[in-house]
Amino acid sequence: MIPAVNEEANGVIQLYSSEQNPRDSSSQPELDQILVEPGPGMETKRTTAAAGQIQNKAVAIAWCLINRLVNCLEYPRTWLEETRGMLMIVATMISTTTFEAAVNPPGGVWQDNNTNSSAGTSVAGSGFPKDFLRFVTFNTVSYIASLSVTLLLVGGFPLRNRVIMWLLSMAMCLTLTSMALTYIHALIIVFPNTEIFKSYENISEISIAVWATLLGIIATIHTIRLIIWLARKLWRRFKHKVPKNLRSVIDSLVDSSRARHCTKKI
């Protein structure tokens, strides 16, 4: 301990440094070092606290950016209910079209029995078996996907549920993609094998690339919506396990983001 002198005149206790302590001159440097510099434990606590604050701030900023992204991608809650009738009509028309393409394939059917085929079977199936198999595959996928959309719409599922909305969106994307590929392979089957029609291969490749890019963007947007919706659900359920200071920061950011989104809607 550092010696002290009690001044009874004014009731103040003064602490003297080791330079003013004549009792032990050998301990002067050590005592001054203790008074001036903090210990290693204090430095470790400060470093840990600073690292924790930086980590909490980074998580809060990331969460804020995610909420802003969701608000930008958000569509009205009544979007699916308003377009339900249109989706039903489109799905029904696609089902009808793909069914007709299956029973009346491109190139027609054989009218009589012969050595290579039977009456009623596809002509293209005998002449172009690989292309016809691709045509049938994509046509079947489009037919099943369109029926799945119809089943989800008439099945009585809650249309505001984000999982149902995501399933409907993915089913429609799959339906339209399969229908586009069915069209391309139907043209390949019926086109004559001449030089003038070989340029169609380049056109079909460009069309598929553009369609795949557009499809990827739409599927990514809908998947991001679903992931963030699930993240919000999990946050409400498990946020009590998060440290209190970080939880309060994220809650404040989420509330402010929702408030700004509601203000924009108004």
User: Taking the chain (266 residues) in consecutive chunks of 10 residues, what is each chunk's mean pLDDT?
Assistant: 44 44 49 49 54 64 68 61 79 92 84 72 79 91 92 79 82 90 86 70 81 87 80 72 62 56 48
Coil, strand or helix at 76: coil
Element (H, E) at 227: helix 199-238
pLDDT at 144: 94
* Residue 183 falls inside a structural domain: yes
CA distance 37 to 115: 102
Do both 31 and 86 map to the same domain? no
Do both 173 and 226 map to the same domain? yes
Do both 89 and 16 map to the same domain? no
Do both 105 and 30 map to the same domain? no
Residue 62 to residues 69, 110, 139, 254, Cα–Cα distance (Å): 11, 64, 43, 11
CA distance 139 to 129: 15
* Residue 204 falls inside a structural domain: yes
pLDDT at 40: 52
* Residue 41 falls inside a structural domain: no
* Residue 51 falls inside a structural domain: no
- Cβ distance 253 to 60 under 8 Å? yes
Task: Tell me the residue range of the domain where 137 lies.
Answer: 76-249
Spatial CB neighbours of 261, under 8 Å, sequence gap ≥ 6: 71, 74
* Residue 256 falls inside a structural domain: no
pLDDT at 252: 63
Question: What does the block give as tokens for 88?
Answer: 């039903």
* Residue 172 falls inside a structural domain: yes
Based on the structure, what is the number of domains in the chain?
Answer: 2
pLDDT at 75: 56
Count the neighbouring beta carbons within 10 Å of the beta carbon of residue 141: 18
- Scanning 74-198, the segments in alpha helix (DSSP H) are 79-82, 84-103, 123-127, 129-154, 162-190
Do both 32 and 80 map to the same domain? no
Do both 102 and 8 map to the same domain? no
Do both 26 and 81 map to the same domain? no
* Residue 196 falls inside a structural domain: yes
Do both 93 and 185 map to the same domain? yes
CA distance 217 to 214: 5
**Sign of the C-alpha dihedral, residues 249, 251, 252, 256?**
positive
Residue of 255, 240, 250, 253 lying closest to 55 (CA atoms): 250
Do both 13 and 138 map to the same domain? no
* Residue 142 falls inside a structural domain: yes
Do both 128 and 8 map to the same domain? no
Do both 32 and 139 map to the same domain? no
- The angle, 0 to 180 degrees and rounded to 10, between the axes of the packed helices 129-154 and 162-190 is 150
Torsion angle in degrees (nearest 10) through CA of 78, 79, 81, 86: 160
Do both 219 and 113 map to the same domain? yes
